[in-house]
Amino acid sequence: MQNTIRINEDVTYLGSSDRRIALFENSYPLTNGVSYNTYLIDDGETALLDTADSAVMQAFMENLFSVLKGRKLDHLIIQHMEPDHCASLGLVVENFPEAKVYGTMQVKKMVQQFFGIDLGEKFVTVKEGDTLSVGKHMLQFVAAPMVHWPEVMMTYDTCDKILYSADAFGTFGALSGNLYADECDSWTADLAEARRYYTNIVGKYGNNVQAVLKKAQNLEISMICPLHGPVIRKDLGYYLDKYDKWSSYTPEDKGVVIVYGSIYGGTANAADCLATRLASKGVKNIKMYDVSKTHVSELVAEAFRVSHLVLAAPTLDAGLFPAMETLLLELKRKNLCKRTVALIENGTWAPVAAKEITGILEAMKDMTILPEKLTIRSTAAPGDEAALEALANALAADLNQ
Ligand SMILES: Cc1cc2nc3c(=O)[nH]c(=O)nc-3n(C[C@H](O)[C@H](O)[C@H](O)COP(=O)(O)O)c2cc1C
Ligand SMILES: [Fe+2]
Ligand SMILES: [Fe+2]
């Protein structure tokens, strides 16, 4: 059955949600699935923006056939070749052999690599600034390399001022009938999920996102249509501001997140002791996470959110507690920078956790490590009180600056 949503006179949403999926990209836990968005512009000529993941292929194809009502598809625009958007490409080109396929230089080769499809003469290479006219809808292509993959481009419709933003401005979470962010709150009420999506999916490529945001400043935008999550048509400034902060690695909150690893509980207890002392010095909204129990994608998002981090970890096999090491390598991979970090280390015979953490942080940009680190041996002892107090004072002073 047709299940589409009319966005305006000429534009229809054909996307679909997958609530069965447990891990996005087989990596990021999803509690409420994800949507794969697809849009059709019908203005005499027809243009489809992206296809869909194999999980929703049947619904997507049914929607496409229903909306076209036996007419041909003239143009298929591939903004992003990742299989979550291109898995249904083969079916589309098979069923609509006359459609021209548009994408940046890399797309044709990627389609061949992934699906063994030679687009041949059908393929039209487009680049920054190229246009495609679909009746009164004049589409302008905006290169967005590495806003998730190298071949990505966005599409700006100069007629209705819609920016089709590819993976940017997306979020995790299935759609549940309501298409618009202002109708379903999914972006704003669950900003943590939008942040987790951004930081883990495109977080590494902040500079590339900044470049696209600069280009977007020159466009009058009435609506943003991403490839995942709701369509944004109100308060665009709010969303653009979040993207500006995240992509420039600017903390949203002056605040502290404490992440600890612990085998027997000693390090966890020391982290708790620090939290209490910080609170007594007026620090509010302290968030604390067990690195072994919290998915690393949530911790990456939290590290992007705040200005200050406390990392507390035991020594393991003359190295760092593995879950903490995983977190740090992930933060480094995402190019997190400009944060202040306080350290607590633990070890029963030869603690080296702080040295290991420092080594990774020093390879990241503009990370400040407070010199007042706390080393405990097995458990925090009364003799550690002075060092703990010094660490709490230094951190609170920095936060209250
Ligand atoms: C597998 C394993 C390897 C360890 N390797 C070291 C080590 O190389 N150096 C050290 O000082 N302590 C080592 N420890 C001891 C822990 O770092 C130490 O007991 C610490 O206090 C545990 O903190 P927790 O109570 O927060 O789990 C190791 C512990 C385990 C379980
Ligand atoms: Fe992607
Ligand atoms: Fe995607």
* DSSP label at residue 72: P
Q: How far apart are CA 182 and CA 117, in angstroms?
A: 39
Instruction: Report yes or no: 175 and 35 within 8 Å, Cβ to Cβ.
Output: yes
Per-residue pLDDT tens digits for 65-98: 999 999 999 999 999 999 999 999 999 999 999 9
**How many angstroms does the Cα of residue 228 sit away from the middle of ligand 2?**
9
CB crowding 29-54: b at 16 or more within 10 Å, else e: ebeebbbbbbbbbbbebbbbbbbbbb
Q: Which atom of ligand 1 is nearest to the CA of 267?
A: 26
Answer for the pair 376, 306: CB distance below 8 angstroms, yes or no.
no
Q: Where are the domains of the chain?
A: 5-247, 256-395
**Nearest CA to 290 among 307, 272, 305, 306?**
272
Superfamily of domain 256-395: Flavodoxin domain (3.40.50.360)
- CATH topology for 5-247 is Metallo-beta-lactamase; Chain A (3.60.15)
d(CA 203, CA 247): 7
168, two tokens:
């940017």
For the segment 19-48, the average pLDDT, to the nearest whole number, is 97
Q: What is the pLDDT of residue 316?
A: 98
Residue 213, classified by CB atoms within 10 Å of its CB into exposed (0-12), middle (13-18) or buried (19+), is: middle
Query: Which tokens is 249 given?
Result: 């690695």
The atom number, within ligand 1, closest to the CA of 269 reads 26
Q: Please tell me the distance between residue 384's alpha carbon and the centre of ligand 1 in angstroms.
A: 18
Q: CA dist 159 to 40, 135, 139, Å?
A: 15, 10, 8
Q: Which of 260, 272, 317 to mutate to test the pocket of ligand 1 (most atoms within 8 A of CB)?
A: 317
CA-based radius of gyration for the chain: 24
For the chain, the average pLDDT equals: 97
Q: Among 149, 164, 171, which Cα is nearest to 35's? A: 171
User: Which of 260, 288, 292, 315 is the best mutation target for the ligand 1 pocket, counting ligand atoms within 8 Å of the beta carbon and taking the most?
Assistant: 315
- pLDDT band of residue 264 (cuts 50, 70, 90) is very high
To the nearest 10 degrees (0 to 180), the angle between helices 296-305 and 322-333 is 50
3-state secondary structure of 91: helix
Spatial CA neighbour of 144 closest among 235, 80, 192, 51: 80
Predicted confidence (pLDDT) per residue in 201-221, tens digit: 999 999 999 999 999 999 999
Atom of ligand 1 nearest to the CA of 270: 26
Name the E strands within 241-395.
Answer: 253-260, 287-290, 306-316, 319-320, 340-346, 368-369, 374-376
User: pLDDT confidence of 267, banded at 50, 70, 90?
Assistant: very high
CB 401 within 8 A of CB 390: no
Q: Is the pLDDT of residue 186 over 90?
A: no
Among protein residues, the one with the nearest Cα to ligand 1's atom 21 is 378
Q: How far is the centre of ligand 2, averaged over its atoms, from the C-alpha of 96 (Å)?
A: 25
Q: Which whole number is the average pLDDT over 256-282? A: 98
Beta strands in 30-136 (DSSP E): 34-36, 39-43, 45-49, 75-77, 100-103, 123-125, 131-134
pLDDT at residue number 378: 98
